[in-house]
Chain A
Amino acid sequence: MPDLINQIEKEITGLKLKATRQNVGRVTEIGDGVARIEGLSDVQYSELLDFGKGVTGLALNLEQYNVGAIIFGDYTKIKEGAEVKTTGQILQVPVGESLVGRVVDALGNPIDGKGAIKATKKYPVEKIAPGVITRQSVNTPLQTGIKAIDAMIPIGRGQRQLIIGDRNTGKTTIAIDTIVNQKDVICIYVAIGQKTSKIAQLVAKLEEHDAMKHTIVVAATASDSATMQYIAPYAGCAMGEYFMDQGKDALIVYDDLSKHAWAYRQVSLLLRRPSGREAYPGDVFYLHSRLLERAARLNKDYGGGSLTALPIIETQANDVSAYIPTNVISITDGQIFLEPELFFAGFRPALNVGISVSRVGGAAQTKAMKSVAGQLRLDLAQFRALQAFAQFSSDLDPETRSRIERGRRIQEVLKQPPYSPVPLSEQVVILWAVTQGLLDEIPVENIHNFEEKYIANIKLKNKKILSEIAETKILDEKVVKDLEKITKEFVRVYGKH
């Protein structure tokens, strides 16, 4: 307390009070978080405006005599005729370590009841994405802990990987699993237009799995204004960029960009901007492209940090060819496509490996995983091609039958309950075993049980193998020989019980 008083005294002593010059305007229209202001002749695009009573806004439409602005905070406090001042500043949010573990709103104000955030730095919400010179190719994997993704749709640090699917297909679960699996990566989860109860559940889940200690949650709930929902992903991105600039790795989840596009459509229509397809404004592509371009992997000269983006898009009736999904698909470096049919058939995560793709993640995949993933993809592709004949199993030739049976076992291995990420070494071991056909003798319904016991057995008796794979990230001949011996022995013992 005395320190604070001394600091205040010091600041006041050196203070020189001057006459101020301000550019002002008058509110002529207000409603739904958007205001029209007459005057403000000196205002700049995207400049922060002061509406008084602690309410701020952002100038977005500059016309001859009027300015269209979006308002942050409680716009019901503002009345027609109220004075508005320019500030000469752009919108900034607090960034830094002090935000980690906290739940904040789109302006970086805490909403978790844990007190004020002591952030020493602020970053602009809108920022130009890192240029070509500052970047390097994706070369380090970002392990999600989900076997199907890490093996077949690998994500690299700095990549933008879209998670797309209908409602209730497990999109958020994949994102949360990925956050739970991180150890050295700071995660930012941006909730856009979601129910407050869902966000509360999600935070509780993250706390339960000890993941909040490396996570920031930026929440613009369904009850927040469209302007807050519009700005939330950019605010979250600014928070992530801080860690990237510090040479650290960060992960940001935008849940979801469909609602973000809706919020922007609402804001644009209220600002009387011309509407285009599906009533979205003409710059809806740029809305998402400028956001996702900010995800990058910087080269060593610029600190070597990275910001990986996992945008989520909710489709309607599985229609990936709609306006916003196609836009975001074209911007991102790949997509994880989730299908309700698979979800309700019990295949969880319900990802369709046929149309899911990672365009750059392969370069970041570890050698150990690469060596098993190739065979896995091939076996699954063959299984999918032969699946239609599965019902005629008695009439099939032994080769086809064995391929179908192998495929079934692979599918079982790829099933994974939520919030239970699997470490890389364990993923490699079980996927190696199933692709080598060593699990062909195990009944399909017992595969999950077998996997649990098999991994437990290796952890207990041959932990060295797991630690060797984890360290070297290679599946060398010696390890393969040892694994073959251990697996065959365990399958024999398991079969007896």
Chain B
Amino acid sequence: MTKKQLQKIVKNLAELSFKEGRILESQVTKSIKILKTLPQYEAIKALGEYLNSLKRMERQYTMIIETAVSLSPAIINKMKKIVEKKHEITKVVVNINPEILGGFKLRIGDEIYDESILGKITQVKEVITNAGSN
């Protein structure tokens, strides 16, 4: 089987295993069974690519909130509702990171919205650095 053919199969299986922003467990089991029938070296490669594709798809529907302190479920829900006006969200992950000092960072797919104190300090730092160099 050529590399392109293998990639096409993996892509199709990954799309079948993902519906409306959620991973379908039964479909994943079926897909893995199909991929296991391939010769061993192709199966290892295909499984790796299949899992990566699933992670990539899941990331598009996952909202990661990074805060300095823990948030109440009400605030998290409110945030989710605001974000859902633009993006479909099926999973919410909250990470506590005291290094951002305050505020929050929001990540959906490849996008990061930075409303943290650290981000604002960085903005001030950039302005000072530019003023100093001119």
Binding site for B on A (CB under 8 A): 4, 7-8, 10-12, 15, 17-25, 38-42, 65, 85, 116, 120
Contacts and interface: CB of A to CB of B under 8 A. Distances in A.
Q: Which 7 A-B pairs have the closest CB atoms?
A: A19-B115, A39-B110, A11-B131, A41-B110, A17-B120, A20-B114, A22-B112
A116 B134 CA distance: 11
B128 A23 contact: no
A123 B115 CA distance: 32
Contacts of A12: 124, 127-128
Given A21-B111, A22-B111, A8 B131 contact: yes
Nearest to A22: B112
Nearest to A14: B127
A11 B133 CA distance: 13
B114 A8 contact: no
Contact of A15 (B113, B115, B123, B134): B123
A41 B113 CA distance: 15
18 contacts: A4-B131, A7-B131, A7-B134, A8-B128, A8-B131, A11-B130, A12-B127, A17-B120, A19-B114, A19-B115, A20-B113, A20-B123, A22-B111, A22-B112, A23-B112, A24-B112, A39-B110, A40-B110
Contacts of A41: 109-110
Given A11-B127, A11-B128, A42-B110, 4 more contacts: A8-B128, A12-B124, A19-B114, A41-B109
Nearest to A7: B131
Residue of A10, A24, A42 most packed against chain B (CB within 10 A): A24
Contacts of A116: 133
Contacts of B107: 24
Interface string B97-134: 00000000001011111110001100110011011111
A199 B110 CA distance: 44
B123 A17 contact: yes
A15 B124 contact: yes
A24 B107 CA distance: 9
A15 B121 CA distance: 12
Nearest to A117: B133
Residue of A19, A25, A120 most packed against chain B (CB within 10 A): A19
Q: Mostly helix, strand, loop or mixed at chain B's interface?
A: helix
Interface residues of B, number: 20
Contact of A17 (B110, B124, B132, B133): B124
A23 B56 CA distance: 15
B113 A21 contact: yes
A120 B134 CA distance: 6
Contacts of B112: 21-24, 85
A22 B123 CA distance: 13
Contacts of B56: 38, 65
A485 B128 CA distance: 72
Contacts of B130: 11
Contacts of A42: 110
B124 A22 contact: no
Residue of B110, B112, B120, B127 most packed against chain A (CB within 10 A): B110
A22 B109 contact: no
A42 B112 CA distance: 12
A81 to B, nearest CB: 13
Nearest to A39: B110
Contacts of B114: 19-22
Nearest to A15: B127
Nearest to B114: A20
Contacts of B115: 19
B132 A8 contact: yes
Contacts of A19: 113-115, 119
Contacts of B132: 4, 8
Nearest to B134: A120
Contacts of A20: 113-114, 119, 123
A25 B124 CA distance: 24
Contact of A24 (B110, B120, B128): B110
B116 to A, nearest CB: 9
A42 B109 CA distance: 11
Contacts of A18: 123
A347 B3 CA distance: 59
B38 to A, nearest CB: 21
Contacts of A85: 112
Nearest to A83: B112
A147 B123 CA distance: 58
B118 to A, nearest CB: 11
B105 to A, nearest CB: 10
Contacts of B113: 19-21
Contacts of B119: 19-20
Nearest to B121: A17
A21 B120 CA distance: 12
B65 to A, nearest CB: 14
Nearest to A10: B131
Contacts of B131: 4, 7-8, 10-11
Contacts of A7: 131, 134
B51 to A, nearest CB: 13
A20 B134 CA distance: 24
Nearest to B109: A41
A19 B117 CA distance: 10
A278 to B, nearest CB: 26
A103 to B, nearest CB: 20
A20 B120 CA distance: 9
Contacts of A65: 56
B42 to A, nearest CB: 20
